[in-house]
Amino acid sequence: MKEFKGEMFSPESAEKRLSTLKTKLADKKLADSLADQKLSNAELALIEAQQAVKAAKAHKNKTQIDAEVAKDDVIVFSKAMEINPLSENELKLMKFEKEIGVFRGAGNLSRCNMENVRVMTDDEVKNVLKMLDLGATHVNFQISNDGVYSNYAGWDISLDIMRHCDIGFPHEELEFSINNSKLIVDNDEDEYDDGNIFDHGYSYEMVFINEQNEIIDKAYYNFRVNLEKFEKNREKYSDLKYKICINIFRDDETDFYRK
């Protein structure tokens, strides 16, 4: 099975692309810009692509293989049409992902094997945001206890794993959280917007993984998770080591903006 990078190519997105390409095919017919044989090939490829998308959508459980077949047929049709099915931003995103080789896209992080993905560096946190700005629908990455610190588009980004209790009191809740803020200059006065760079237009889920690469807890829509229940018998908390897999994805129900 092929692994996806960046955007998850679903049957629905394949159908949307086909609709756009079908319009372009009609335009080419009117302009008579294709030879008869090439036009015939394009029409045949369109029919095959439509059938592949229909077959993929017919399955109750859409698999990545179904989506990959639909994607391949859309590309075959596009080549017959001499049309690039990808936008300029999508091409940049594909090139960007190939150069970085760190991030993976997935529709469900809990089913994404992140064991062999190294943790993110300070500079790479900016790449996550660049990829989202280029249109990536999902970006998965890992951070370690050391956290990452960077800046992007005016944001001071601090993805920290912090304790919210005195480690000398293990009976209290043991939590980790991730925070960031943006420096806003208003009326020549510096003010900090203590918020979440992913609040607007994005949703996210987190998975905490221990040193044995076992998933121990998940957190959705907030950057905090209670770990006490997994460490009840622990006497020393200062040496806790965890990786956090974070899946950032666009939220269609939220108007996207980042000032």
Residue of 85, 86, 81, 84 lying closest to 29 (CA atoms): 81
Contacts 24+ apart (CB under 8 A), 227-232: 227/174, 227/175, 227/176, 228/170, 228/172, 228/173, 228/174, 231/170, 231/174
According to the model, what pLDDT value does residue 72 have? 62
Lowest-pLDDT range, 21-25, 50-54, 219-223? Answer: 219-223
Same-domain pairing of 149 and 26? no
Same-domain pairing of 71 and 146? no
Is 240 in contact with 231 (CB distance < 8 Å)? Answer: yes
Q: In the chain, how many domains are there?
A: 2
pLDDT band of residue 21 (cuts 50, 70, 90) is confident
In a domain, 256, yes or no: no
pLDDT band of residue 150 (cuts 50, 70, 90) is confident
CA dist., res. 11 & res. 71, Å (int) = 8
In a domain, 1, yes or no: no
- pTM over 0.85? The answer is no
On the question of pLDDT at 157 being above 60, the answer is yes
What is the chain's mean pLDDT, rounded?
59
| Tally of CB atoms within 10 A around 47 | 12
Same-domain pairing of 152 and 242? yes
Per-residue pLDDT of 228-256, as tens digits, reads: 555 556 655 555 666 666 666 655 544 43
Same-domain pairing of 79 and 100? no
Tell me which amino acid residue 34 is.
L
Same-domain pairing of 33 and 137? no
Same-domain pairing of 58 and 119? no
Same-domain pairing of 113 and 41? no
Same-domain pairing of 230 and 153? yes
In a domain, 195, yes or no: yes
Same-domain pairing of 204 and 115? yes
Out of 37-41, 182-186, 206-210, give the one with best mean pLDDT: 206-210
In a domain, 168, yes or no: yes
Same-domain pairing of 30 and 59? yes
In a domain, 4, yes or no: no
Average pLDDT over residues 186-209: 57
Residue of 239, 121, 254, 123 lying closest to 198 (CA atoms): 254
Same-domain pairing of 120 and 45? no
How many Cα atoms are found within 13 Å in the side-chain-facing hemisphere of 153? 13
Strands (E), the chain: 138-143, 148-152, 155-159, 175-177, 179-186, 189-195, 202-209, 215-220, 224-226, 243-250
- Which domain covers residue 168, as residue numbers? 91-250
Give the domain-ending residue among 85, 107, 125: 85
In a domain, 205, yes or no: yes
In a domain, 111, yes or no: yes
Give the domain-ending residue among 85, 109, 124: 85
In a domain, 225, yes or no: yes
On the question of pLDDT at 149 being above 70, the answer is yes
Same-domain pairing of 213 and 104? yes
Give the domain-ending residue among 38, 55, 85: 85
